[in-house]
Amino acid sequence: MKLKKHGIKTASAFISLLLLFITKLTFAQTSAPAASVNSPTIDEAGTLNTMWMGISYNVLLFLLICIVVAVVGRILKIYDLTLQIQSKKGLDWNRLMAVGFGLFLVVGMYGAYWEYTVQGSMILPEAASAHGQKIDEMFNITLIITTIVFVGTQIMLFTFAYIYRGSQLRKAYFLPHNNTIEKLWTIVPAVVLTILVVFGSITWKNIQDVSVKDQRSALNVDVTAHQFAWEVRYPGNDNKLGLKNYKLVSASNKVGVDFKDKNSYDDLTADEIVVPVNKPVRINLIAQDVIHSFYLPWFRVQINAVPGLPTFFQFTPTITTDDMRTKMDNQNFEYKLYCNKVCGGNHFNMQKVFRVVKEAEYQDWISKQKPYLNDQLKKDLKMAIAQPKMLGLKNKLAFNKL
Ligand SMILES: [Cu+2]
């Protein structure tokens, strides 16, 4: 009687979930064409709906699998009880469990294979910078080692669970301590991790330790972060950026360039960051309000922009935007600079196009950029000159002291 009641409950839960599942699927099919007809541009609400549709689909699929497993378990239990009533030998549950472990191993390994092949292809494509290739190499070596360990330990775990399943015919072996095994599982991971850490430190040192000579020869670009934009400044022909002083920030002098430093006279402003391919570029960073993060995923570059603390990162882009467009078969592709610190409400919008071009194209582009010292600023500076205290040189942020 109790069994029957339980069976009815399980069946009704199963049917209601199935109905919900079918309703969701039908709803998804009817709403999709309507969304694409009405909105030729980005349909954010539609994208969100699709996302939730995907989540509910997977949750329901998971619940469905759980119910199927529970129903199969119940059927086996009933079969077992029937055998016992007929005074026959019942089911060998230990064996059943062991087979279940084996099945789980096969399904789980297929899941891991699926993750690597289907989702693995969604990771960033080849690095577009010289040091990025070294970072990718390190990532791949770590991934290969952890994959080997993962596959090995999972196979051992489930195979042992199968081989040493509970049996009336044997007694469990009591193994309180084994020095050899302890040494093995301590020394082997320690050696592997040490190799990875040393390898990582050497790579990090090679990327970070740029000689003063190389820093001088690099193209200097000054990037100032604030909520919620990036201000870009290029040096003029001297490749020397003028000093900045946060006290000089005004409506016309957005980043507070100090015009007592003559290097600043020929500085240029730009709406995008354009750099020549295969030439080292040094990005000089600072923030005006909160911490932001200068993030160029395609170049494997990320460094914080901190208020009051100048930071820099030097790297060499190796693939032009045009070449990457061809590689990706997407003529609209652009490298983008993102902010990678949640810096406030409009953080998501803190983006800028980052173009890598051939040297000639870069020279052409830079010749068209506007001077930072524009007419409005010249006018404002005359006003400021009348109040010399406002132009004090204290708290100067020396970017270009090389
Ligand atoms: Cu930001």
Could you tell me the CATH number of the domain that includes residue 256?
2.60.40.420
Kindly give the distance from the C-alpha atom of residue 364 to the centroid of ligand 1, in angstroms, as a whole number.
Answer: 30
Q: Is residue 387 part of a domain?
A: no
Start-end of H helices in 86-178: 93-114, 130-163
Kindly give the distance from the C-alpha atom of residue 293 to the centroid of ligand 1, in angstroms, as a whole number.
Answer: 6
Verify that 311 and 332 share a domain, yes or no.
yes
pLDDT computed for residue 240 by the predictor: 81
Query: Sorting pLDDT into bands at 50, 70 and 90, what band is 374?
Result: confident
Q: Is residue 396 part of a domain?
A: no
Verify that 101 and 201 share a domain, yes or no.
yes
Kindly give the distance from the C-alpha atom of residue 307 to the centroid of ligand 1, in angstroms, as a whole number.
Answer: 12
Q: Is residue 24 part of a domain?
A: yes
Using the 3D structure, point to which of 209, 237, 254 is the last residue of a domain. 209
Q: Is residue 300 part of a domain?
A: yes
Q: Is residue 84 part of a domain?
A: yes
Using the 3D structure, point to which of 91, 114, 146 is the last residue of a domain. 91
- Mean pLDDT in residue range 120-132: 87
Kindly give the distance from the C-alpha atom of residue 225 to the centroid of ligand 1, in angstroms, as a whole number.
Answer: 7
Query: Sorting pLDDT into bands at 50, 70 and 90, what band is 85?
Result: confident
Verify that 125 and 135 share a domain, yes or no.
yes
Residues 267, 236 contacting (CB under 8 angstroms): yes
Verify that 82 and 99 share a domain, yes or no.
no
Verify that 139 and 35 share a domain, yes or no.
no
Structural tokens at position 388? 């010399």
- Which range, of 99-113, 228-242, 322-336, averages the lowest pLDDT? 228-242
Look at 184 and 399; give whichever has higher pLDDT. 184
Verify that 113 and 124 share a domain, yes or no.
yes
Structural domains in the chain (count): 3
Kindly give the distance from the C-alpha atom of residue 349 to the centroid of ligand 1, in angstroms, as a whole number.
Answer: 9
Q: Is residue 381 part of a domain?
A: no
Residues 159, 98 contacting (CB under 8 angstroms): no
Kindly give the distance from the C-alpha atom of residue 150 to the centroid of ligand 1, in angstroms, as a whole number.
Answer: 37
- Which range, of 56-65, 84-93, 147-156, 268-277, averages the lowest pLDDT? 84-93
For residues 98 and 79, what is the distance between their CA atoms, to the nearest angstrom? 19
pLDDT computed for residue 384 by the predictor: 53
Q: Is residue 144 part of a domain?
A: yes
Using the 3D structure, point to which of 45, 69, 91 is the last residue of a domain. 91
Verify that 198 and 263 share a domain, yes or no.
no
Verify that 179 and 71 share a domain, yes or no.
no
Kindly give the distance from the C-alpha atom of residue 229 to the centroid of ligand 1, in angstroms, as a whole number.
Answer: 7
Verify that 150 and 104 share a domain, yes or no.
yes
Kindly give the distance from the C-alpha atom of residue 302 to the centroid of ligand 1, in angstroms, as a whole number.
Answer: 12
Residues 102, 158 contacting (CB under 8 angstroms): yes
Q: Is residue 214 part of a domain?
A: no
Chain mean pLDDT for the chain: 82
Kindly give the distance from the C-alpha atom of residue 338 to the centroid of ligand 1, in angstroms, as a whole number.
Answer: 8
Verify that 184 and 246 share a domain, yes or no.
no
Verify that 79 and 99 share a domain, yes or no.
no
- Which range, of 13-17, 65-69, 218-222, averages the lowest pLDDT? 13-17
- Which range, of 74-83, 100-109, 318-327, 381-390, averages the lowest pLDDT? 381-390
pLDDT computed for residue 168 by the predictor: 81
Query: Sorting pLDDT into bands at 50, 70 and 90, what band is 153?
Result: very high
pLDDT computed for residue 9 by the predictor: 60
SS3 (DSSP) at 398: coil
pLDDT computed for residue 378 by the predictor: 72
Q: For residue 305, what are the β-bridge partners?
A: 292
Residues 313, 301 contacting (CB under 8 angstroms): yes
Verify that 85 and 97 share a domain, yes or no.
no
pLDDT tens track for 249-258: 777 787 888 7
End-to-end CA distance of the chain: give it in Å, rounded. Answer: 88
Kindly give the distance from the C-alpha atom of residue 292 to the centroid of ligand 1, in angstroms, as a whole number.
Answer: 4
ω before 228 within 30° of 0 (cis)? yes
pLDDT computed for residue 105 by the predictor: 93
Give the domain extent around 50.
1-91
pLDDT at 26 over 70: no
pLDDT computed for residue 68 by the predictor: 94
- Which candidate, 214, 248, 227, 280, places its Cα nearest to that of 383? 248
